[in-house]
Amino acid sequence: MVPVENAKVFFGNSGSDANDTHIKMLRYYFNAIGKPQKYKIIARERSYHGVTVASASLTGLTANHTHFDLPFDALGVLRTDAPHYYRNALDNETEAQFVDRIVNNLEQLILQEGPDTIAAFIVEPITGASGVIVPPIGYYQKVQAVLKKYDILFWADEVITAFGRTGNDFGCTTMGITKPDMMTLAKQLSSAYMPISASVIRGDMYDAMIEPSSKVGFFGHGYTYSGHPVACAVALKTLEIYQRDNLFEHAGQIGSYMQKRLREFCDHPLVGEVRGKGMIAAIELVANKETGLAFPNAMVGNFAMQACQNNGLICRAIAGSSLAFCPPLIVTKAQIDEMIEKIAKSLKQTLKFANHKVLLAK
């Protein structure tokens, strides 16, 4: 299924350990082909790639770093811009200008560090925990052109976006990413009923590791529960159901309807931006609708999340004051309508709360 050329797959237990596996695979591969200096990884601000020591170092959220003394330098983790136009654009900057600027920043980082020292660039096609950031049109095409120019691998972390979540088989398909070199999968591989993850690499990367591992006597990596038969059986059945019930197509159709209905909240006095693709979306709540001024803390987001739950809707407050929605792929139009009603009621309660606490900026 994956768009990786001659794909080879290593199974683990979670997205975090799958990304750890990839870091080790990168080092093993570049050592095997005689480029041991090529080990650095570029990750983006406001990214989420896990919470193990290595994957948390890739993650670009301060809350996941504070007090943990993570080894960013030892792992060679570099950081570049988050592709969030609404939050990061300069005054009077168009989306196209924004894309050109941050892609140029990426290229300058590569040149500054030295292309021969950088192994890969890791992205979530659409982010999750950082606020469901959907990059502008053209961003990934220009990023891939820069990476190809400097012989840097494109690593797609699809723990959230794979298997129908964005209305297609993979987030790469939705976002126009062509032939990633590596992919990370988890969550919907088993519909989250059993812990399983997958680290996917190109076939030629796998081939390059065969001789070095033979000299050692074995490939010295693996987890106690890698490829656990129960988890694999559940994953196989899940993939069968996806195909049997045409769930990716269903997610695309209902997802388009959900995105359309959610955008009805764009005129709400608390809403700065509504964003998403397919069956994943976020509503960002702001203190000033005209300027996009963010609330200083998560108080309003947390109130809105609790209001939704009190009204019978499970959602999540992320990235400060964004409400994230991620319904099951089998959801119906009627259930989306019910969801919209509950959001509307909850936002009305949240606005009343924000006014009472004098949290809105003039």
Q: How far apart are CA 269 and CA 281, in angstroms?
A: 19
The CA angle 79-136-202, to the nearest 5 degrees, is 60
Task: Assess whether pLDDT exceeds 90 at residue 24.
Answer: yes
CA 208 to chain centre: 29
Half-sphere exposure of 118 (CA within 13 A, CB side): 29
Average pLDDT of 24-39? 98
Q: How do residues 268-326 score in pLDDT, each as one tens digit?
A: 999 999 999 999 999 999 999 999 999 999 999 999 999 999 999 999 999 989 999 99
pLDDT the model gives residue 320:
87
Model confidence band, residue 77 (pLDDT cutoffs 50, 70, 90): very high
Give the separation between CA 79 and CA 1, rounded to whole angstroms: 31
**Helix (H) / strand (E) containing 296:** none
Domain limits, the chain: 8-243, 247-356
Angle, alpha carbons 244-250-253 (nearest 5°):
160
DSSP collapsed to 3 states, 188-224:
HHCCCCCCCEEEEECHHHHHHHHHHHHHHCCCCCCCC
pLDDT for 65: 97
pLDDT digits (tens, 9 = 90+) for 105-121: 999 999 999 999 999 99
Q: Note the pLDDT of residue 124.
A: 98
pLDDT tens for 139-170 read: 999 999 999 999 999 999 999 999 999 999 99
pLDDT digits (tens, 9 = 90+) for 281-292: 999 999 999 999
Express each pLDDT in 51-68 by its tens digit.
999 999 999 999 999 999
Give me the amino acid identity at 219: F
Instruction: Say if residue 83's pLDDT is above 90.
Output: yes
Structure confidence at residue 25 as a pLDDT band (50, 70, 90): very high
pLDDT, mean of residues 20-36: 98
Q: Strand, helix or coil at 136?
A: coil
CATH topology of domain 247-356: Aspartate Aminotransferase, domain 1 (3.90.1150)
Distance CA 189, CA 198 (A): 8
The whole-number pLDDT of residue 226 equals: 96
pLDDT for 52 equals 98
If you ran DSSP here, which 8-state letter would residue 135 be given? P
* Confidence (pLDDT) at 318: 96
pLDDT, mean of residues 79-98: 98
pLDDT of residue 69: 98
In this structure, whether the domain defined by 8-243 belongs to CATH 3.20.20.70 is answered with: no
The pLDDT of residue 251 is above 90: yes
Please, what is the average pLDDT of the chain? 97
pLDDT attached to residue 362: 81
Percent of the chain beyond pLDDT 90?
99
